[in-house]
Every structure is written in C-alpha cells, then in structure tokens.
C-alpha cells in the first residue's frame, strides 16, 4: 500500500495545504518518512490523517463557487471500532460545510472494507447537504464495499450508481467530473456518463 499515492495531476489547480479554508492548510509532508499505517501496512506520506486509525484521505479539489469537493480515500472504513465517520464528519466535512460546500464526491477505489456502527453521522451529513440541494456521491467504491453499505441502508444518505464502480474519472477535469456526476445524480446523465458529450473536456 505504501506505493499508492493520492491522485496528483490536479495539483496545478488545487493543493489543500495551500488553501487557507482547508482543514489541511499548512500541513507539511515528507516524501521519505512513512509513519501512517492501515493496520500493519504503511501508506504513502501524502495521504492525510484526520483522526482515524484505518482510513486516510486526500482532498483533491474544492470549488467554493460551485460548492463541491472531491475527496479520495484509502484504507478500511471502520465505524464499529474507531468511529471513522465521526472523525471524517467533525474534522473534515464540517469544516467544508462551514465554507458552503454541499456537494461531495468521495472516491473509494482504495477503500478495502466497510463496517457500520450507527447511521447518526450519515443522517446528519445528509440533512445538512439536502437542505441546500446538495448530495454525497460514492464513486468507484468496490462492489463488496457498496454491498456492505447497502446492507447498512446507507444508500438513503449516500448516492452511488453501480455504473460508477469503474468510472475513469482521471480523464476529466475536476469541473467536468462535477458536472457529469451532478447530471447523473439529477437524472440528466446519459449512458456514457458524459463521455462523447461535447461539453465534457477530457484531460490529456
């Protein structure tokens, strides 16, 4: 796992540690010292610790005008042992909500497992974004993780579409990823999820 880095091709557009509204403003990173672990496995030092012992993240992009954030996750999402959603909600999401962010894209291809405790933080998060016509979309989560979330009835609070379990989001700019998912969430998307649409710009 130590070789898996957060997506870095948008760093010319946004860097969380340089954003004074970010929960990770002025955070300093080492390219050589590995300290954070998922159980006994070290992870790359560019991932951000937000209080969980098994789940880490990177805020890849925030647009304060369009009110959305893109967050990549890695590790095990375990609410039953370390109450990961509490740390996520209080230490990251609440700070972004305070900046009027109400649409969240969670990229979960490196989330290995999910374990629920209770749904109170998910309900709170859902109610706060719903009041402002927002949403939370789980993108590229593994099928067994989505199955675990469905068993916990989290599909009431989070949105996912099974056609988004292997979506090549890296080919889109952050803004066009947002437009594509917003169209899907609001029933305006097509079968290509934005591909082939002249309004969607693919990155080189």
Around 34, how many Cα atoms within 13 Å sit in the side-chain half-sphere? Answer: 12
The enclosing domain of 66 has a CATH number of 3.30.750.24
Look at residue 199 and tell me if it is in a domain.
no
Higher pLDDT, 186 or 116: 116
Look at residue 8 and tell me if it is in a domain.
no
3-state secondary structure the chain: CCCCCCCCCCCCCCCHHHCCCCCCCCCCCCCCCCCCEECCEECCCCCECCCCCCEEEEEEEEECCCCEEEEEEEEEEEHHHHCHHHHHHHHHHHHHHCCCCCEEEEEEEEEEEEECCCCHHHHHHHHHHHCCCCEEEEECCCHHHHHHHHHCCHHHCCECCHHHCCCCHHHECHHHHHHHHHHHHCCCCCCCCCCCCCCCCECC
pLDDT at position 201: 32
Note the pLDDT tens digit of each residue in 67-91. Answer: 999 999 999 999 999 899 999 999 9
Look at residue 129 and tell me if it is in a domain.
yes
Look at residue 196 and tell me if it is in a domain.
no
The domain tally of the chain equals 1
CB atoms within 10 A of CB 17: 13
Q: How far apart are CA 9 and CA 58, in angstroms?
A: 13
Q: How far apart are CA 139 and CA 161, in angstroms?
A: 8
Look at residue 174 and tell me if it is in a domain.
yes
Note the pLDDT tens digit of each residue in 32-42. Answer: 676 677 787 77
Look at residue 193 and tell me if it is in a domain.
no
Look at residue 90 and tell me if it is in a domain.
yes
Note the pLDDT tens digit of each residue in 102-157. Answer: 999 999 999 999 999 999 999 999 999 998 889 999 999 999 999 999 999 999 99
Mean pLDDT of the chain: 88
Domain limits at 149?
A: 16-185
| 2-10 average pLDDT score | 87
pTM over 0.95: no
Residue 194 scores a pLDDT above 50: no
Residue 1 binned pLDDT confidence (cut-offs 50, 70, 90) = low
Look at residue 9 and tell me if it is in a domain.
no
């Amino acid at each position: 796992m130590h070789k898996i880095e957060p997506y870095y091709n948008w760093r010319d557009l946004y860097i969380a540690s340089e954003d004074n509204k970010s929960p990770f403003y002025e955070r300093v990173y080492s390219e050589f010292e590995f300290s954070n672990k998922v159980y006994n496995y070290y992870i790359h030092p560019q991932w951000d610790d937000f209080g969980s012992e098994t789940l880490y993240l990177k805020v890849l992009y925030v647009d304060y005008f369009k009110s959305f954030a893109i967050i990549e996750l890695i590790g095990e999402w375990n609410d039953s042992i370390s109450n990961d959603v509490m740390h996520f909600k209080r230490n990251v999401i609440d700070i972004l909500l305070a900046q009027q962010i109400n649409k969240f894209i969670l990229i979960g291809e490196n989330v290995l497992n999910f374990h629920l405790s209770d749904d109170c933080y998910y309900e709170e998060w859902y109610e706060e974004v719903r009041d402002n016509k927002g949403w939370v979309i789980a993108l590229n989560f593994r099928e067994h993780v989505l199955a675990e979330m469905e068993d916990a009835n989290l599909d009431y609070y989070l949105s996912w579409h099974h056609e988004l379990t292997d979506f090549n989001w890296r080919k889109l700019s952050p803004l066009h990823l947002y437009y594509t998912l917003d169209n899907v969430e609001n029933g305006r998307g097509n079968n290509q999820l934005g591909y082939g649409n002249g309004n969607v710009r693919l990155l080189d």
